[in-house]
Amino acid sequence: MTGSIVALGMGLAVIGAGMGLGSIGSKAMEAIARQPEAVGDIRSNMILMGALVEGAALIAIVMCFLVA
């Protein structure tokens, strides 16, 4: 039983991270389309933000593994 609850938790964590990454990606694309000359700055900041969002999801997933 614990296994299925853990799976649910992992799924929720991934949904959250997916929404975050999606909005980062869409806004970055918009920004690049508006200011193509700033593509370098936008890209590195996008990756940085992506990494931070991903961090939260990864902690959740590792916690799921620990509980399981």
Partner 1 sequence: MGRIFLVFLSVFMLSFSAIAEGKSDKFDPGATAFHHIADANVFSIGPWSIPLPCILYSKDSGWSFFSSSKFGIVGHHGDGHKAVDGYVLNAGSVNRVRPGQGFPTGEVELFSEQAYDEAAEGGHAMHPFKHKEIEVKELNDDGVEETKMEEITYFNYNGKDYTLDAKSTADGGLFGGGITSYYDFSLTKNVVAMLITVFLLMWMFISIAKAYKTREGKAPKGLQNFIEPIFVFIQDEVAKPFLGHHWERFLPFLMSLFFFILGLNLFGQIPFFGNANVTGNISVTLVLALFTFFVVNLNGNRNYWGHLIAMPGVPKWVLIILTPVELVGVIIKPITLMLRLFANITAGHMVMVIFVGLIFVFGQSGANAPVSYGTAIGSILLTMFMMAIELLVAFIQAFVFTILTASYIGAATEEAHH
The residues of the shown chain that bind partner 1, judged by CB under 8 A, are 40, 44, 47-48, 51, 54-55, 58-59, 61-62
Distance of closest approach, residue 55 Cβ to partner 1, in angstroms: 4
From the CB of 17, what's the least distance to partner 1, in Å?
A: 12
* Total length of the chain: 68
15 vs 51 by CB, closer to partner 1 = 51
Nearer to partner 1, 11 or 55 (CB): 55
What's at 12, amino acid-wise? L
CA dihedral over 30, 36, 42, 44, signed as positive or negative? positive
Handedness of CA 11, 16, 21, 23 (dihedral sign): positive
